[in-house]
Structure 1
Amino acid sequence: MNITTSTPSPQAQAMLKALQQAVTESLERKRKLGQYAVMWQDGRPIRVEGDANNVKE
């Protein structure tokens, strides 16, 4: 893996922002549907449960 300390180009910043937004929207959709997601926390995978049972219509 290459780690750089220079500022990303405007195109790279736009791509990163788009990817972050897509992941945020996907995780929110999964949460609302009551699906689980697996994420890394403290160097370990954790399962985060959705809350479809708590959604009020």
Structure 2
Amino acid sequence: MNKRDHYEVLGVGKGASEKEIKRTYRRLARKHHPDVNPNSKSAEAKFKEITE
């Protein structure tokens, strides 16, 4: 399994501030959370990728 760059996974630039990274992580985690998308395997996979 290839590990992607954390910045790439979140879709932020390498120069992103800590605040921007946290905000983007939280937004994506809520969007793809299994409790919000109980029947979506793609959302579950994206959530796992985000939280690695």
- In terms of fraction of residues, the more helix-rich structure is 2
TM range (shorter): 0.3 to 0.5
Larger radius of gyration: 1
Structure having the higher strand fraction is 1
Please give the TM-score of this superposition, normalised by the length of structure 1: 0.37
